[in-house]
Amino acid sequence: MNGPPNLVVTIVLYTVGILLVMIAVLILLKGLGLLTTLPDYIIWALVLLALGTGIIGGLRSSGK
């Protein structure tokens, strides 16, 4: 059971990690007052970016 992690698990972990980093950056920018409002389309764009980056990162790390 010490084989490589499942591809789906790897992709999900990459995606969740990227989303957490993006949320932390948004909270930091809001706390500093540099970001007052965030339109819905920007939030959707960030979610889609995180999904795409997570999928690509997971595939690259698995070597497939």
- Taking residues 1-14, report their average pLDDT: 78
Could you give the number of structural domains in the chain? 1
Structural domain includes residue 2 = no
Round to the nearest angstrom and report the end-to-end CA distance of the chain. 20
Compute CA distances 53 → 1, 28, 42, 47, 50, whole Å.
Answer: 28, 22, 16, 10, 5
**Residue 1 has what pLDDT?**
47
**Residue 39 has what pLDDT?**
86
Q: What is the pTM of this model?
A: 0.78
Tell me if 47 sits within 8 A of 12, measured CB to CB.
Answer: no
CA distance 35 to 45: 16
pLDDT in tens, 10-63: 888 999 999 999 999 988 988 898 888 888 888 889 899 999 998 998 888 877
Structural domain includes residue 1 = no
Structural domain includes residue 57 = yes
Parent domain of 44: 7-62
Model confidence at 3, pLDDT cuts 50, 70, 90, reads: low
